[in-house]
Amino acid sequence: MTFGERLAAAMDEHGPLCVGIDPHASLLADWGLPDDASGLRSFARTVMEAVGGRVAAVKPQAAFFERHGSAGVAVLEEVVAAGRETGTLVVVDAKRGDIGSTMGAYADAFLRDGSPLAGDALTVSPYLGFGSLDPAVDLALSSGRGLFVLCLTSNAEGAQVQHARTAEGASVAAVMAARAAALNADAAVMGSIGLVVGATVGDAAARTGTDLSAVNGPLLAPGVGAQGAGADELAAVFGPARRQVLASSSRGVLRAGPDVAGLRKAALDASSEAAAALR
């Protein structure tokens, strides 16, 4: 099965929620864990014990693992392996973006069969031009994995680039969405090249002429829960594209830890809320 098909099935079975695994130093402290690789490992294992096999996907933020050096990257590899063992899709949130052989090397690290860092999908940045992602697109599609391409992000600075207009008058965000749509054109269920669209961007899609409904791929929506996006915000941002949305919640779930039962309840509650808002 393609990534798009696997994700659609997982969202139907478990609800349209992705649990972000973001081990901030402050969150490790809140859990009573040391800010080192041992604390990171305890944190990651607890989250996976709580939600593995119970939510559609998890999304480890690579930066919070990389800050601990090679020992932290080893823990990220363990999260990827735990996802595979529990049947939980893993979106590695690394936001890689470069050109030529360097982009090819990033693709090899995060998308190649046999790589310990290769989850089910990878977040990527297209702002060296969508074509710069070709090595990642090719390897993702040939290996049955997916990509989430940054499109409309919630940070204030993002609009400088994403809302800018090309010489032909289209917004940059609309161009990115159209390129993803072209790659997903023949997908029967849902394509494997998705977009990242912040759940708190309001009417940005309408203002930039970005047709999310035409993408025919998953829309990863960070910002659900603790960052303020609920049912009304999701409806405003995604409109008729709501069924394609994979809502991402990090702090809204993680603050229920370190108790496994508390984390599990928070995740299942968030998944039910996301389903009510999107399905």
Q: Which helix (H) or strand (E) holds 69?
A: helix 69-86
For the chain, the first-to-last Cα distance in angstroms comes to: 23
Beta pairing class for 121-124 and 219-222: unpaired
Enumerate the active-site residues: 95
What pairs with residue 60 in β-bridges?
A: 21
Report whether 119 contacts 82 (CB < 8 A): no
Report whether 190 contacts 7 (CB < 8 A): yes
Tokens 């360097």 sit at which residue?
102
What pairs with residue 17 in β-bridges?
A: 247
Neighbour count for residue 29 (Cβ, 10 Å): 12
Closest CA to 217 of 248, 196, 239, 247: 196
Cα–Cα–Cα angle for 164, 245, 278, rounded to 5 degrees: 125
Tokens 């009573």 sit at which residue?
32
Neighbour count for residue 216 (Cβ, 10 Å): 22
